[in-house]
Structure 1
Amino acid sequence: MKIRIGYEIVYECPQPTPMILTLNIHYSRMNDVLLPDHLLTEPAVPLVAYRDGFGNWCSRIIAPRGDIRLYADGLVRDSGLVDDQAPGAPQIALQDLPEETLVFLLGSRYCETDRLSAEAWRLFGQTPPGWARVQAICDFVHQHIRFGYEFARPTKTAWEVYNERVGVCRDYAHLAITFCRCMNIPARYCTGYLGDIGITPVPGPMDFSGWFDVYLGGRWYTFDARNNVPRIGRILIARGRDAADVAMVTTFGPSVLRSFLVRTEEVTTD
């Protein structure tokens, strides 16, 4: 299968404003890229690309005063298969975890393990360790939160999501990640494209999506507390501890988001 992806984002800046942009397809999908999603700007500005501490592709620009349009289009080959499932995947004892996974056990900006640890053990301490425990966490979070774009808030943490019981996909991911870390399961935040492929189209505008990976049985597996079913056509952009590490656009100065459009669709013709 082929999936066309892209975006168009317009900001207004009252003064020249440095920005960090994390908008390119993740390097792990490079062999699948048929048409590169090169970041373009209007007006054209110098761009410096680099890879951050988590391996994500990022770009630095200085947006001029006035409007700046950020846009890209790409084409990706995909297997057409749903997310990998391994119900028998075991939980690795903490002392046996690889060192590179340990950072994903710690509390982070949006994932307050200290505030939710006791509640996590109360809710999930009797569940079987491993895949079944992560699935129990996803089931709980999926049922606990009511979805709505009107509930989005850039400062909302897992603790606040747990108590307010409303949010968007990143909030589902943050709460599930926090519970997993409290139960000694490494979990990392993921962001990318996820279109309505293989499902009934969902009303409302397309957006970037948030999900998470957990480390079980010696490898990382994808989970999605928002949808809570295996899905087709995830196109990863970035991974990190939480949404603070993978923000699409980080501005270092005042700015106003004027428009935001994301495209993700299966290409059905050659």
Structure 2
Amino acid sequence: MGLSNNITAILNFLALLCSIPIIGAGIWLASKPDNECIHFFRWPVVLIGVLILLVSLAGFIGAYWNRQGLLAFYLFCMALLIGLLLVLLVFTFVVTRPDGSYTVMGRGFKEYRLDGFSSWLKSHLTNSRNWPKIRTCLAESDVCPKLNQQYFAADQFFAADISPLQSGCCKPPTACGFNFVNPTLWLNPVDPMADPDCYIWSNDQTQLCYNCNSCKAGLLGNLRREWRKANVVLIVTVVVLIWVYVIGCSAFKNAQTEDLFRRYKQGWI
């Protein structure tokens, strides 16, 4: 195996290692309660990571055993996957750029307005066709019930940094002026006309604020926060992959030149 093939094999092994944080980020996203309820958001990152792993393995085998066909396949497929990952990064950055959160005086958590998020997210996730299924899934999860196990006093709950999903779905909007009993039980609103969600709130533990606009906004806020965190890992990984790919292309060309020179020399001798 020539020097260029050795370099290519090492680079392909690095690309294979790069697939691990991509798969890890995808599994982390898929494990979140909100992503469990949005099926088409769950697995694209994991799928891309697995494909990068398989393509890198093919490239490593091709470089180690000098299989030019496998190396060409690796370079072609890796270019497509890097492009796909870049498209995914740009797309998620654009659709999660608007932030519908706002600060509430005297609260450790933020609340969320639906009109503060991107129109794409709103039209695809909170429409009348998709929301009933998402709402049912959220109501069956432990997103809200576990708040009652963590916070017992009003002061403790008001100072808590709860998730956007919990802020939007598990309690009524602060503007309504409900009196705290526990995180999912609120009574006697002071200003029931402050927000349309004040009328929608229910102490029925299967209802709560799952039909509220604040819950839809909380879901989008959760998605935004999670995808922004995952994007940090994906950006670092894609930069490394591009660097590996560029050097790999150069090493592949050098390997072809070495192979042609060797064949020419053997024929000349």
Q: Scaled by the length of structure 1, what TM-score is found?
A: 0.25
**Larger strand proportion, structure 1 or 2?**
1
**Larger Rg over CA atoms:** 2
Q: Comparing both chains, which one has the higher relative contact order based on Cα–Cα distances under 8 Å and sequence gaps of 6 or more?
A: 1
Q: Scaled by the length of structure 2, what TM-score is found?
A: 0.25
